[in-house]
Amino acid sequence: MTKHKTLEENIEAVTKLSLQFLAEAIGQCPAGLEQTRNRDVVFAVLGFQYGAVQSAAYVAGMDGEAASCIVEDIVSRINGMDKETVSKILSLMPMLAEKEYPPINIGGKAIVGFYNASSDEEKLTTAGSLREILKQIDQA
């Protein structure tokens, strides 16, 4: 992702890439994901999303405050959740990131791979990493 001239351009580019990537990633997951009550699944999905958007914002050269605002907006939008709920959950993510919570790291790497992919097949493969995380949770 290249840096744009203005903060608004960066926000627009990060938002567009993140929504495209996360829609593809969620689209590859089992049906009913949005209705799960399994805490492990919820945190894995939101951690993955958090890592992806944070990574995209970082690569675009955005500071932490701007990135946090974008993450909250995108995560609430893509999941159809109110901002208050999203804010509560996302407030835990920096601590989980410090502890190297795998879904955050995987999401961050996957969106960069998605952006750099040279083919649609590569994009599908990188977007499928969320599905793989959920399979591991099911098997645990």
Q: For residue range 20-35, what is the model confidence (pLDDT) as tens digits?
A: 999 999 888 776 777 7
- Give residue-wise pLDDT tens across range 55-96: 999 988 888 888 888 999 999 999 888 889 889 999 999 999
* Residue 81 vs residues 43, 84, 134: alpha-carbon distances, Å: 14, 8, 20
This prediction's pTM? 0.89
Write the Ramachandran bin of 100: left for phi over 0, alpha for psi from -120 to 50, otherwise beta.
left
Burial class (CB in 10 A: 0-12, 13-18, 19+), 2: exposed
- Helical ranges in 4-128 per DSSP H: 7-27, 39-59, 64-79, 83-90, 93-98, 102-116, 120-127
